[in-house]
Chains A and B, each alone.
Chain A
Amino acid sequence: MKVLAIILAGGRGERLYPLTRDRAKPAVPFGAIYRIIDFTLSNCINSGVRHIYALTQYKSISLHRHIELGWSILSAPLGEFIEVIPAQQRIDEQWYQGTADAIYQNIYTLQEERPDLILILSGDHIYKMDYRKMIDFHLERKADLTVAAIRMDRSLSREFGVIEVDGDWRIVGFQEKPDEPKPIPGDPQGILASMGVYVFNIETLVRRLIEDARSDSSHDFGKDIIPAMIQKDRVFAFDFRQGDRGGTGYWRDVGTVEAYFEANMDLVSLTPQLNLYDPDWRILTYQSPYPPAKTVHAEEGRTGTVINSIISNGCIISGGRIKRSVLSPRVKVHSYVEVEDSILLDGVDVGRGAKIRRTIVDKEIQIPEGMEIGYHLEEDAKRFTVTPSGIVVVPKWIRL
């Protein structure tokens, strides 16, 4: 059984701005040393899926570089690969019109590979899932399409494709971002949300993509392909709990700065919902060989201190205090600094006496001595992005 994974990695992530000013959403750093796409790629590797394409379109340099540096781990002689495919404009000069169009425009690539099954994934989500379980389910049910589904609260229906199933988990209805969602039978407050994870039989996929391409449509899996297929094909939902490697039902879209911040903060809690420490389900990434993290100074009031935080290689905490924060590699924190509930990305340098709270600082930013960020939100809003809940984002390339 030949399975080809295609990761849709062109997500603009507009609501993550300014973190997505210079990079596509899958390339946004997460959890100190990872990029968002690492979770999906790791799921593939851990599930034994080793034929992987990532489709990109704009702002893809950062993602290309990351995958080239960190993910050249498969065996080409065995026919395995992880390859980034930029929009090739082979059949159109335009950008991809929708998720289904992205696959349709790469129909030649599908043909060259000729897999039996296509696993379509999003590069935007953070979760740990064994795709083998879903593929087995797909084969058992002799399905044409299987859609991974997760229970969500009914109040969130406007953010998701909502699936309606019968007792066999065959999909009998699909509403895209509905106001009035069909609840889960016996669970009126719950809905089954599509995770944007699909297993298709190759032939059915190609036929439905072509039909869709030849009709007036928004060329989207959720809006067009799935609703059309329910009528004529065997379409099933796969319960994420059956394939959830973490066992906690953890799946995050991190579509907004708020969600991004919370998902990072989860990692510094006592028992994170997202377990990064499972030796049987490693999350792989690219890391430069920096020296180990270090703390220095131990005088009263000038002690390099780290509490409830994640500190990466290359960090030096020199007489400053870090609390409930996530530090990427090469962050320097100088004396008398206070950093609380914050996310500092690679190479950030926090000058002597500066105070930072509830702030995301993008790469390579130099915070001047004594500067306060996150304490006077009105002032901060003049220079930085401040979210409704008061999280400050200091964008890349700003001079302070």
Chain B
Amino acid sequence: MVVEDEEGLRLFYEEELKSEGYEVITARNGKEAIRQVEEGSPDLIILDIVMPVMDGMEALSRILRKDRKIPIILNTSYAGYREDFMSWAADAYVTKSTDLTELKRKIRELLKKKKAR
């Protein structure tokens, strides 16, 4: 699941990840993401931090209460997030970029790890 408030970026991630063979669902903010998780946990979440309605940090904490084990990648261009204790609960951190190599690598890694569990 891709959680991203900016429409252009959301579509971009969706297309890129679909072409990698993943099934992709999207949410526009933290609240929508939680609703999606309640309907059935995705295999992995890519989570933006700065979003309207509910930001990624609060969504992260609330999603983990619903599914403790779901892998979460924080995807952000905002550098100060590490100051936030809650961010330590994420499984990986990726700096937002149009080059998705790093993001794709992290996704592969986490899904592999999840399978091995």
B68–A210 touching, CB < 8 Å = no
Tell me the bound Cα distance from A210 to B69 in angstroms.
Answer: 12
Whole-angstrom distance between the Cβ of B3 and the nearest chain A Cβ = 17
User: Does A216 belong to the interface (CB within 8 Å)?
Assistant: yes
Interface residue A108 (Cβ < 8 Å from any Cβ of B): yes
Indicate whether A210 sits within 8 Å of B89 (C-beta atoms), given known contacts A91-B65, A216-B68: yes
Alpha-carbon distance between A108 and B87 when the two chains are bound, in angstroms: 11
**Chain A residues in 8 Å Cβ range of B83:** 111
Q: Provide the A88-129 mask, 1 if CB < 8 A to any CB of B, else 0.
A: 001110100000000000011011000000000000000000
B88: contacting residue among A91, A207, A216, CB under 8 A: A207
Stretch at the interface among B21-29, B36-44, B56-64, B98-106: B56-64
Whether B68 and A213, one on each chain, are in contact in the complex, defined by CB atoms closer than 8 angstroms, is: yes
- Which of chain B's residues have a CB closer than 8 A to the CB of A215? 68
Q: A92 touching B69 by the CB < 8 A rule?
A: no
> Does residue A214 face the partner (Cβ distance < 8 Å to B)?
yes
Q: Which residues from B are CB-within-8-Å of A216?
A: 68
Is the CB of A206 closer than 8 A to any CB of chain B? yes
Interface residues on B, range: 10 to 19
Chain B residues, Cβ within 8 Å of A111? 83-86
Within 8 A of B (CB), among A188-223: 206-207, 210, 213-216
Interface size class on chain A is 10 to 19
The 8 Å CB contact of A110, one of B61, B64, B85, is B85
A214–B69 contact, CB under 8 A?
yes
Q: Note all chain A residues with C-beta closer than 8 A to B84.
A: 111
User: Within the complex, what minimum Cβ distance (angstroms) separates A146 from chain B?
Assistant: 21
Q: A214-B68, A214-B69, A216-B68 are in contact. Are A92 and B62 (CB under 8 A)?
A: yes
Q: In the complex, which residue of chain B has the Cβ closest to the Cβ of A93?
A: B65
Q: Chain B residues near A92: list those with CB within 8 A.
A: 62, 65
B69 to chain A: which residues have CB within 8 Å?
A: 214
Residues of B at under 8 Å CB distance from A?
Answer: 58, 61-62, 64-65, 68-69, 83-86, 88-89
List of A residues within 8 angstroms of B61 by Cβ: 90-91, 107
Asked if B88 and A210 make an inter-chain contact with CB atoms under 8 angstroms apart, the answer reads yes
Instruction: Name the residue on B nearest A207 (C-beta).
Output: B88
Establish whether residues A206 and B85, one from each chain, have CB atoms under 8 Å apart when the complex forms: yes
- Looking at the assembled complex, report how far the CB atom of B56 sits from the nearest CB atom of chain A, in whole angstroms: 13
**Chain A residue contacts of B68, Cβ below 8 A:** 213-216
B26 CB to closest chain A CB, in angstroms?
23
Q: Judging by beta carbons under 8 Å apart, are B64 and A214 in contact?
A: yes
Residues from chain A with Cβ under 8 Å of B58 in the complex: 90-91
Chain B residue nearest to A202 in the complex (CB): B85
* Cβ contacts under 8 Å, A90 to chain B: 58, 61
Residue of B nearest to A101 (CB): B65
Closest CB of chain A to B1's CB: distance in Å? 18
Are A214 and B89 closer than 8 Å at their CB atoms? yes
Q: Which residue of A lies closest to B58 (CB)?
A: A91
Q: Which A residues, 237 to 253, have Cβ-Cβ distances below 8 Å to chain B? A: none
B111 to chain A, nearest CB (A): 17
By a CB distance below 8 angstroms, the chain A residues around B65 are 91-92, 94
Q: Is the CB of A107 within 8 A of B62?
A: no
In the complex, residue of chain A having the shortest beta-carbon distance to the beta carbon of B63: A91
Closest to A91 in B: B61
Report the separation of the CA atoms of residues A91 and B60 in the bound assembly, to the nearest whole angstrom.
9
Task: Check if A108 sits within 8 Å of B86, measured CB to CB.
Answer: yes
In the assembled complex, the Cα of A215 lies from the Cα of B62 at a distance in Å of 15
